[in-house]
């Protein structure tokens, strides 16, 4: 969602999505589809993870010539 989204809205959406994913029928469907259901990280943890991955892979992508290759 947009970075300007208020924290209470982000937190509410995260809580609702987490509840849906934990529902027994959704959990069972995930397994039937071959996915591994995992606990969703908090929005702050996900933001930290994404920043780390961008730092980790950004330079590699640029050096490989993939970045800005339009």
Domain regions of the chain by residue span: 1-39, 41-70
Query: Any residues with CB less than 8 A from the CB of 10 and at least 6 apart, and which?
Result: 1, 43
pLDDT at 68: 64
Alpha helix (H) residue ranges in the chain: 7-22, 24-32, 43-63
pLDDT at 36: 87
pLDDT 10s per residue in the chain (70 long)?
898 999 999 999 999 999 998 999 999 999 999 998 888 899 999 999 999 999 999 888 888 888 665 5
| CA-to-CA separations, 46 to 14, 32, 41, 66, in angstroms, rounded | 11, 26, 6, 25
């Amino acid at each position: 969602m947009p970075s300007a989204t208020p924290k209470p809205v982000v937190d509410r959406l995260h809580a609702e999505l987490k509840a849906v994913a934990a529902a027994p029928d959704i959990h069972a469907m995930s397994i039937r589809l071959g996915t591994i259901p995992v606990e969703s990280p908090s929005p702050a943890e996900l933001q930290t993870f994404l920043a780390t991955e961008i730092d980790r892979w950004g330079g590699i992508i640029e050096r490989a010539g993939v970045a800005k290759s339009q």
